[in-house]
Structure 1
Amino acid sequence: MTAVALSADENAAVVRLEQKLMDAQSALKSAHAYYEGEQRLRQLGLAVPPSLQQFLTVVNWPRMAADGVEERLDIEGFRFPGVDEADEDLWRIWQDNNLDEESQLAHLDALIYGRSYICVGANEDDEATPLVTVESPFELVHETDPRSRRASAALRLYDERDGRATRGTLYLPDATVWLFWSGSAGRWVDVDRDDHRMGVVPVVPVVNRARTANRAGVSELKDVIPLTDAAARSLTNLQLAQETHSVPQRFVLGAAAGDFVDQNGQPLTKWEAYFSSVWTLANEQAKVGQLPSADLKNLTETVEHYARLASGVTALPPNYFGLAADDAASADAIRSREARLVKRCERKQTAWSGSWEQAMRLVLYVATGDEDASARRLQTLWRDPATPTRAQQADAVVKLAQAGILPREGAWDDLKYSPARQERLREQFRRQDELDPVGAVTRLVGQQA
């Protein structure tokens, strides 16, 4: 491994980006802890005695807030302008890079941390299939060009040893530089580079809730975290109250220690004293009584109140939080409850389409070495984030076909039939027409009408 010193500009970029990556770690770790349900009340500064640690309860609404949106974000292809179908070559590259699965990770990380990254590069094993990977914001950070709004530089650090990353990759508009931390020299050195001269950084950020004043993104968990902490405190109080006040409390007045012994004069265990002999004392002066149990409804109602507030800020229907719906479980009621969630998912699709389209344009450039002008209007095809039933889909398609708006094969496209299945249907209709020529003519006349 031959090490070469970085240029002054490259070294300055590494220093800036490394500091930016370190500054982001605290917020990223906090979001990670909330998503994984590892954020405990003791981290909130509450004095919980060690003996009561077992009652600490965390309700993982942050995971629900992220997963509830991500589950409805599925890419089905990319389409060039003027073409009705998804491009087969781009979809081949997509699947060769396992992006059916990896894209879900990019979307989920963007929701949790506010951003994730797509990296595009040459594939040494297959020149016709560029390498596309998704990367974590824990390892990768970028700077944004204030004019183009695209990444002007990016840095990925990894292979951590003794609390410090030892390897890295610097992405620049005209070169990708592989780095190694030289402990003896106390600096990063260049061990390899690819002078690709693309004029664009081959890293595309997927940013959640970008704003003109904040292009770095905001975590989808931000609004629900305070409600999660409040609900966790109420649930912990509920756990404690359940142990101490949810059952009637019994008491004994006027009893002596000698009243709590068995027939051999041996002291009874606490459980034996509590459940049996205490209530049959021979001491006439002793009095046994019972205090009523506490009503814990106020605590359960408090948790339900927080759940409804969480439903409001996340756009997730109340039943996602275990709350009974106020309306009947009809199809219209389900669609009404999901309206905000569906619209939020559509907004994500619009925002993230640009990131994936930019990544696919890089893929085409790496694969061919040329910039395809038509790719500037590339369109991302997403699965419908709503949850229509199959019967509803079929009914809508049938009505369009009957009205003459859709031909038969257009109906198949709307029903998402695969090309293989459509070909089988064509063959089945051909055989049917051969057996029933009169019916074939009737159907043809009906379609032309």
Structure 2
Amino acid sequence: MADLDTLRGLIEKIYDGAAERRRLNAYYDGALRLAALGITLPPEMRNLAVVVNWPRLAIRSLEERLDVEGFRLAGETGTSDRLWDWWQANNLDSRAPLAHREALVTGDAYVVVGRRADDEQTPLITVESGDHLHADVDPATGEARAAARVYAPDDNGVPQRAALYLPDVNIYYELRSGSGFVEVDAVEHDLGTTTVVPMLYQDRLSDETGRSEMLDIIGLTDACCRTLTNLGGAQELIAVPQRYVLGATSEDFRNQDGTPKPAWEAYIGRIWALGNEEAKVGQFTAADLRNFTEVINQYSKLVSALTGLPPHYLGYSTENPTSADAIRSSESRLVKRSERAATTLEDAWERGMRLALRWIDDTDDVPRLETKWRDPSTPTFAAKADAVTKLVQAGIIPKEAAWDQLGFSPEQQAHYTQLMASDPINTLIRSVGADTAQA
């Protein structure tokens, strides 16, 4: 009964946070939010409502610079082939960016470690969304004391299966009519901790359940949506010069057979003569819409200041042409934010990999490991190669470290090593060196 109470409590937490998660997901997806456009929006203008998706731009621009390239165990010079094999076997090249994106959007995602039924030497590592999983996180250690995941919702959204993750066992339940959740299976792992690793994106110590990266720009997004909608209304009403007629009668707007002329003919000016010689025709000056565009540019600058996005990401730039150095300088804050985000998110991957090693090797003696990230900056390859070459020539770093600095993947490095080993010149140099050593 205690386990069932724990399961019910965690499932309630999932439902308690569902409304806020739907709101954040709506902003990321760019869903139309008429309530956010203001109560003064006339019903006739609702078809002109425009949503500018700055939240997705901010998240994607940050997440695109967060690429895991491997894991390095303590005492090893290169990345671990074994851990990278596990990474590839679980399709984490494509799944890991989704976890990063989820953590940035809603503040939390989860890494779940399990055992494969068909391969006892390769763990099952999956990433999950907080939409259907919640963990009770110990604020002191950052580990999950218990976690629950719901599966297979019916047409009414009621989950039909659930999993409860406890420190030494995973328990699986099915929903039975009249009985509620009934235990159907249990997997004991005796790890002393749950196999769920929270991936929380935190900005402060008080963000115990994570914090969305979009919160700072949601208000500006709504404000820009209102401005764009008003701009659309102005284009319809006052952007085109309006005409006026003084002294005309209704007969002037009829065809020869007496039928009224269509409204579109009058609108485009297909009126060639008026019966009253005193009648006057003229037009008003068209409205200048630059006041709307200036406001939108101001909102863009504020978004750039809050998110660290370069100005050209948001569609505006200065009058002077931008140099390569200026572009790199404008991206410096985004690069630093990416490095800080990587530091925040890598704890989950390292804990997950240590859990996998403990489970597969059946040992608690797990070496330290670190996550290797791709360089989030955007220098040209020629400039980076030149800098790395100078470091190798000065003896500051070895050649293998230069390959890491240039961003070569483990597979590329292994391939280059094989090519160099089969090179006749390198073979001759090694043989001469061996003969010299023996002499």
TM-score over 0.5 for the pair = yes
Q: Is the counterpart of residue 419 in structure 1 residue 410 in structure 2?
A: no
The corresponding residue for 2:170 is: 176
Q: 2:321 & 2:390 partners in 1: Cα distance?
A: 27
Map 1:275-314 to 2 at 5 A: 275-314=268-307
Q: 2:200 & 2:432 partners in 1: Cα distance?
A: 55
The corresponding residue for 1:42 is: 35
Q: Which letter does structure 1 place at the counterpart of 2:264?
A: W
Q: Is the counterpart of residue 396 in structure 1 residue 390 in structure 2?
A: no
Q: 1:276 & 1:348 partners in 2: Cα distance?
A: 60
Map 1:120-131 to 2 at 5 A: 120-131=113-124
**Local SS of the residue matching 2:190:** coil
- 1:282 Cα shift? 3.6
Q: 1:85 & 1:29 partners in 2: Cα distance?
A: 42
CA contact (8 A) 1:364 1:372 kept: no
Q: 1:13 & 1:326 partners in 2: Cα distance?
A: 61
CA contact (8 A) 1:412 1:422 kept: no
- 1:261 Cα shift? 2.2
CA contact (8 A) 1:78 1:380 kept: yes
Q: 2:400 & 2:8 partners in 1: Cα distance?
A: 57
Q: 370, 378, 384: which one pairs with 2:369?
A: 378
- Give the TM-score normalised by structure 1: 0.90
Q: Is the counterpart of residue 226 in structure 1 residue 219 in structure 2?
A: yes
Specify every segment of 5 or more residues in structure 1 that has no aligned partner in the other structure, as ranges: 1-7, 444-449
What is the percent sequence identity of the aligned residues? 45
Alpha-carbon deviations, 1:299-327, whole Å to 9, x = none? Answer: 11011111110111111111111011466
Select between 316-325 and 419-428 the one with higher mean Cα deviation: 419-428
**Local SS of the residue matching 2:70:** strand
Q: 56, 60, 69: which one pairs with 1:63?
A: 56
CA contact (8 A) 1:327 1:333 kept: no
CA contact (8 A) 2:37 2:226 kept: no
Q: 2:99 & 2:244 partners in 1: Cα distance?
A: 60
**Local SS of the residue matching 1:278:** coil
- Give the TM-score normalised by structure 2: 0.92
The corresponding residue for 2:254 is: 261
Are the structure 2 counterparts of residues 62 and 190 from structure 1 closer, same or farther at C-alpha, using a change threshold of 3 Å?
same
Q: Is the counterpart of residue 51 in structure 1 residue 44 in structure 2?
A: yes
Map 1:33-182 to 2 at 5 A: 33-44=26-37, 46-161=39-154, 162-182=156-176
When the two chains are superposed, the root-mean-square deviation of aligned CA atoms in Å is: 2.3
Are the structure 2 counterparts of residues 69 and 200 from structure 1 closer, same or farther at C-alpha, using a change threshold of 3 Å?
same
Alpha-carbon deviations, 1:156-203, whole Å to 9, x = none? Answer: 012111231111100000110111223312x32211111221110100
Q: 1:54 & 1:39 partners in 2: Cα distance?
A: 11
**Local SS of the residue matching 1:67:** helix
Are the structure 2 counterparts of residues 157 and 45 from structure 1 closer, same or farther at C-alpha, using a change threshold of 3 Å?
farther
Are the structure 2 counterparts of residues 77 and 270 from structure 1 closer, same or farther at C-alpha, using a change threshold of 3 Å?
same
The corresponding residue for 1:430 is: 424
Q: Which letter does structure 1 place at the counterpart of 2:161?
A: R
Are the structure 2 counterparts of residues 361 and 409 from structure 1 closer, same or farther at C-alpha, using a change threshold of 3 Å?
closer
The corresponding residue for 1:5 is: none
**Local SS of the residue matching 1:305:** helix
CA contact (8 A) 2:115 2:123 kept: yes
Specify every segment of 5 or more residues in structure 2 that has no aligned partner in the other structure, as ranges: 434-439
- 1:35 Cα shift? 0.5
Are the structure 2 counterparts of residues 121 and 409 from structure 1 closer, same or farther at C-alpha, using a change threshold of 3 Å?
closer
CA contact (8 A) 1:260 1:277 kept: no
- 1:218 Cα shift? 0.5
